[in-house]
Amino acid sequence: MRKTDMRGIILLATLVATAGGASAQGGDMDCSDFSSQAEAQAFFERAGPGDPHRLDRDKDGIACETLG
Ligand SMILES: [Ca+2]
């Protein structure tokens, strides 16, 4: 296999992995989908205003207080 072929395969795999991550973020996320509060908080902040995933039910700006 030529080196250029391998680069194409790696690029394709990267694109597929990126698309998979994007579609996962498109679905509704719950606090139980995160392993830590910091992770949930980062996602909550990236998701933008309006709390579309309802990670901050009491609307104090802190997502998933119940996570450690
Ligand atoms: Ca909260």
pLDDT band of residue 9 (cuts 50, 70, 90) is low
16-53 pLDDT per residue, tens: 555 444 444 458 999 999 999 999 999 999 999 999 99
Give residue 21 CA to ligand 1 midpoint distance, Å: 25
Give residue 19 CA to ligand 1 midpoint distance, Å: 30
Angle CA 37–41–44, to nearest 5: 135
pTM for this one?
A: 0.60
Give residue 20 CA to ligand 1 midpoint distance, Å: 28
How large is the average pLDDT for residues 2-22?
Answer: 63
Neighbours of ion ligand 1 (CB under 5 A): 56, 58, 60, 62
